[in-house]
Chains A and B, each alone.
Chain A
Amino acid sequence: MISYGNHRFPGKLFVVEGTDGSGKSTQLALLHQWLKAEGYPVFYSEWNSSSLVKDTTRRAKKRRLFTPATFSLLHATDFADRTERDIIPPLKAGAIVLADRYIYTAFARDVARGCDRAWVRETYKFAVKPTVAFFFRAPLDVAIDRIVSARPRLKYYEAGMDMGWADDEEDSFKIFQGRILEEYDRMVDEFNLTVIDATRSIERQQREMRRIVTRHLKKKKKAAAL
């Protein structure tokens, strides 16, 4: 089995990461539009989207069957299906793959839930190493405000209610997101994440993102010309 960092595909993989409410999905959608307009073959893939695993996840959430370990493993299963179906084939075909959330989401959430850091990383060893992994860093209060004001009610696992940190969903969510952000910060150096300041204007963030992406696409075009 090929492991993280060893994949060699002609395509490019750009991923966005960050806490809920950091604005990463908006940024990825804008990047997607732009790349399509530029004429690149682009494939978009999002977290928790495997049709094989979807029913199991939905049922487990509804019936609250998850523990931190099974939450982690079922999401890894979902991600494996995405990797085998949505990520590796387009990369082999030379396309640009855009991923909304990637393995770092699992590393942040699962470790925040008490899973062993090394064990979770080992589980995802099969993942393709991204060309660039953008981390949209928003201060905790900003992200929480965005989410709490946008949603009528936080979901059970989203709020980390399974961990029993707090009785109130909003309090629990804050604790959970705080732990997640800590894990993200730790990963910046470990995985060489590209940090984008998510407090700046949408336009400015997008300009920065496009500049970085362009650099990698140019390299690709040059290589092809040679």
Chain B
Amino acid sequence: MKVKEKVFYGTPLPGAEREPYSGKLIVIEGTDGVGRSTHITILRSWLESRGHAVLDTGMTRSVLAGRGIKEAKEGHTLGRLTMQLFYATDFADRLENEMLPALRAGFIVLTDRYIYSAIARAVVRGADPAWIRAIYGIALIPDVVFYLRVRSAEELVPRMLNSGRGFDYWESGMDMNLGEDFYDSFVEYQTRLLREFDRMSGEYGFRVLEATRSIRRVASDLRRAVARILDEDAEAVEDVTPVEAQVATSATRAPGQAMVTRPVERQEGTAER
């Protein structure tokens, strides 16, 4: 694969300066119950069958903070700010110890959610949109973000019930006192999350996939889009030398992608409060 210099949204982690990463960072985003993990499983085995090494990761899976977050959530005493920073710790640990090393080594990193879910959860809970974005400025800009979209929170309910999971305290936003019971709270909470995702869609350039279609159709869309990204690279490698490719990408993919759009979002956030 072509060696590309990747760029961070904001202030990179200490020591993680701009450098060429030969791997690809592919994000699957979406709210609870849209089928993210199913599609990651399918995509992973397809990529591996094509001979790519894959690392998959997701929220709260870090060695450092994963267990602590799960324990804290069980107690239902996790404050709003504390929760956001605990998630950020988890993210940073996985970024430094899993994602960046894998990308350096030429892996395809498939991540079940990235910073966008964390930002949506924080903003829905009243966090300053600029604050949470600044913290997650440590994140690498992914090669592609697939957003599995549903049109309304109501559509999620049967999916969740069918999966046998039922209503979860946090997925229902029960910490926010939004409704009388889990159902009301779930619908209100997920509606707010969806609104945040829609808002971020343009800001971060999500590729939107309608998640209400059959698994087979969504999976084939995903495969085609991923194949295109990988093939583009394969072709580019024949046309230009890696050094030229680097120069070209750093010029077109300047951090401006995030910086140009961020003030707009900030204004919206301020107006809302």
A residues at B contact (CB < 8 Å): 1, 3, 50, 52-53, 55-56, 60, 65-70, 73-74, 76-77, 80-81, 83-85, 113-116, 118-119, 122-123, 125-126
Contacts and interface: CB of A to CB of B under 8 A. Distances in A.
Nearest to A114: B14
B135 A53 contact: no
B131 A67 contact: no
B79 to A, nearest CB: 4
Given A52-B72, A80-B79, A84-B79, A119 B64 contact: no
Given A77-B89, A122-B134, A56 B68 contact: yes
Contacts of B71: 55
Given A80-B79, A85-B79, A119-B134, A69 B13 contact: yes
B18 to A, nearest CB: 14
Contacts of B93: 65, 67, 70
Nearest to B16: A69
Contacts of A83: 81
Q: Which of the four size classes fits the interface of chain B? A: 35 or more
Given A1-B128, A1-B131, A122-B134, A73 B85 contact: yes
A65 B65 CA distance: 10
B81 A53 contact: no
29 contacts: A1-B131, A52-B82, A53-B72, A60-B64, A65-B93, A67-B13, A67-B14, A69-B13, A69-B92, A69-B96, A70-B64, A73-B85, A73-B88, A73-B135, A74-B64, A74-B65, A76-B88, A77-B82, A80-B82, A81-B79, A83-B81, A84-B81, A118-B11, A119-B10, A119-B11, A119-B135, A122-B131, A125-B131, A126-B131
Nearest to B135: A123
A114 B10 CA distance: 16
Contacts of A80: 79, 81-82, 84-85
Contacts of A69: 13-14, 92, 96, 138
Given A1-B126, A3-B128, A55 B88 contact: no
A68 B68 contact: no
Nearest to A85: B79
Nearest to A57: B68
A69 B79 CA distance: 22
A1 B134 CA distance: 14
B14 A1 contact: no
Contacts of A70: 64-65, 89, 92-93, 96
Contact of B86 (A1, A53, A84, A122): A53
A67 B128 CA distance: 26
Nearest to A118: B11
A115 B10 CA distance: 13
Contacts of A76: 85, 88-89
Contacts of A123: 85, 134-135
B43 interface: no
